[in-house]
A and B are shown apart, each in its own frame.
Chain A
Amino acid sequence: MGVTDWLRRRLDNAVEDRLGDDVGARTRALVFRGNEYGYDAYGLGRDHLKVAALLAGWVYRHYFRCEAHGIEHIPPAGRVLFIANHSGQLPFDGVVIGSACFLEPPVPRLVRSMVETFVPTVPFASYLLPRWGQITGTPENCLRLLEEDEAILAFPEGARGISKPFSRRYQLEHFGLGFMRLALATRTPIVPIAVIGAEEQAPAVNVKPLARLLGAPSFPIVPYPPFIPLLPLPVKYRLYFGEAMTFTGDSDDEDEVLEEKVRAVKHRIESMIHLGLRERKHVFW
């Protein structure tokens, strides 16, 4: 008890010291619906958030040196669904988008991303991710949070997108329809985001026989030690936030009707990706 308390206090002080004025002020400015113990209903903890802000801020500013365009499209309040392309074997695109929404606009915005349902079975990740505002990706959770006017980040390509090999970089996979149903049901505006750079953070080939053997969706191998994607390369990230798109219609419509709306979002992201790739001079700077 004594040792853990002491460690906790030390860590807390260290975090406070390193946060800096800007990030520190942003953590305090965040709208937070916590209880008397400093936790909200989804397990987000104010003290844990400071640690996350510190780590993610460093990754965002120094490791990936991220450049964000179209910050004015991040709404300062109210429900919003961020839809982005997913890539790069490791989910750093989520970290970077979350950091951008927290660090760049005049008012910090907490973005919750939807994590896979196996995450609650993994020790430490099971509680650390919720403490940092991430939630288990079920439609019920998303619906509830949008109705509570929160900001949600979703990758409609899901695992198909993130595990795609290097040879198919910047080609979008099939978009799921779930996000559109949720947006229609809650009348939530969609802000499309194009992520440039994540595709090169872990250029991988997929070893299909090994994946089949292990029963995993893919088995990526990267051309640098330790040969499995654990650390991303320090590529430069570029984010493009698009104008909010509003859709109307019945959330229970046939797939074909929704497909059309989803295609509109996908096209918008595609054209932003093309623009970003044209503007980019180099992968690493």
Chain B
Amino acid sequence: MSSGEPVPRGGDGPRRKKVVITGIAGRLGRVVARALHHDPRFLIEGLDRRPFPGKPKDVIHHQVDLRSKKARDVFRTGEVDALIHMGVMHDPRATTAELYSWNVGGTSKLLEYCATYNVPKVVVLSSANVYGPRPENPQFLTEEAPLLAAQRFPAMRDLVEIDHLASTFFWKARDIETVILRPVHILGRVHNAPSNYLRLDPIPMLLGFDPMVQVIHERDIAEAVTCALTPGARGIYNIVGPGEVPLSVIVRELGRRTLPIPHPIAKPLYALAFRLGLSGYPVAEFDFIRYVCMVDGSRAENELGFRARATLRETIRAVDDPD
């Protein structure tokens, strides 16, 4: 069900690399696709069950389910040079079974296609949240730290499992260059939990808690993905933004009011609000505004040559960028 006409390869110069992006229709997917589309080295194909409005003409979009046979055909017939897997569903309202089947089932299918049809490069966008916010966390977690997010936060189990699937794949398929990126909170026009949270007014905070947080601009994610596509790059990398700040500083920078809630009542209150449909926040996420979950990004800087370009102020303000 591909739309748009395939662009003939070749012409002068080296062959353009065919990059398949899952989750391309999401906001972050579009940011990454746009950045790679500007790069003459790459030819972009999208794989998403949602439509991709405003798609550039020479981007091919396959509007199919990751788990379907048609998704397999994309890899079978396509001579795919790289897969960027960002098609992780975060919808807190979806059922656990649906999320599990899509996220974990979909990812394992994709990795299977890559192994079968010799895709030489696989980039999986995981998250630094997989380490989990915990009071006993060191200030900066390295890539070797255990992924403990699911301990306190069962809803994170899928994301942890995707990360584990990808790292198993990294060890199993040694002829494939697998890169797992674990970025910190992505801010921008994206509709993810941290950006949505910071767009609230007033912003609920836990009384007496103001953890240090790391943020990264959505455009820097595109940059990190580009670094990961460099031939030879493989491994697990924490991706950090321009620095660390207390949560309250972000709130003040955005000029929002805060709503401090004592933590013993915050969880029951928001659990009720969530069930009534008044709030979109699963209460387990409150731990992210209570404890630190920060990572050390020096490996990505040294080995991938990745450094965030946006300044702290630009990154924070990005949540209010007009569409």
Contact = CB atoms under 8 A, between A and B. Distances in A.
Contacts of B263: 123
B282 interface: no
Given A37-B245, A141-B139, A130 B209 contact: no
A119 B137 CA distance: 12
Contact of A36 (B140, B206, B312): B312
Contact of B210 (A121, A127, A141): A127
Contacts of B138: 136, 138, 140-141, 144
A118 interface: yes
A39 B213 CA distance: 12
B143 to A, nearest CB: 13
A118 B135 CA distance: 7
B135 A117 contact: yes
Contacts of A130: 212
B12 interface: no
A63 interface: no
B210 A42 contact: no
B165 interface: no
A36 B313 contact: yes
A152 B94 CA distance: 48
Given A120-B291, A126-B209, A127-B211, A35 B245 contact: yes
A115 to B, nearest CB: 11
Interface residues of A, number: 28
B178 to A, nearest CB: 26
Contacts of A119: 135
B136 A117 contact: yes
A43 interface: yes
A121 B286 CA distance: 13
B249 interface: yes
Contact of A127 (B139, B208, B245, B253): B208
Contacts of A138: 136-138
A119 B135 CA distance: 8
A49 to B, nearest CB: 14
B140 A37 contact: no
Given A136-B138, A144-B139, A123 B208 contact: yes
A124 interface: yes
Contacts, number: 78
Interface in A3-41: 35-37, 39, 41
B140 A140 contact: yes
Interface string B241-263: 00111100100010001000011
A214 interface: no
Nearest to B256: A1
A184 interface: no
Contacts of A122: 208
Contacts of A39: 212, 244-246, 249
A193 interface: no
B246 A123 contact: no
B53 to A, nearest CB: 38
A120 B135 contact: yes
A135 interface: yes
A204 B195 CA distance: 51
A136 B246 contact: no
Given A127-B211, A130-B212, A35 B135 contact: no
Nearest to B255: A1
Contact of A126 (B140, B208, B243, B257): B208
B257 A1 contact: yes
B311 A36 contact: yes
B139 A41 contact: yes
Contacts of B262: 123
B207 interface: yes
Contacts of B86: none
Contacts of A36: 311-313
Nearest to A125: B208
A35 B244 contact: yes
Contacts of A43: 212, 244, 246
A37 B209 contact: no
Given A36-B311, A117-B135, A141-B139, 6 more contacts: A39-B246, A41-B243, A43-B244, A120-B136, A120-B211, A124-B208
Closest 9 CB pairs of A and B: A123-B208, A140-B138, A120-B135, A127-B210, A117-B136, A124-B208, A138-B138, A43-B212, A35-B243
Interface of B: 135-140, 142, 206-212, 243-246, 249, 253, 257, 262-263, 290-292, 311-313
Interface of A: 1, 35-37, 39, 41-43, 45, 117-127, 130-131, 135-136, 138, 140-141, 144
8 contacts: A43-B212, A117-B136, A120-B136, A120-B211, A121-B291, A126-B290, A136-B138, A141-B139
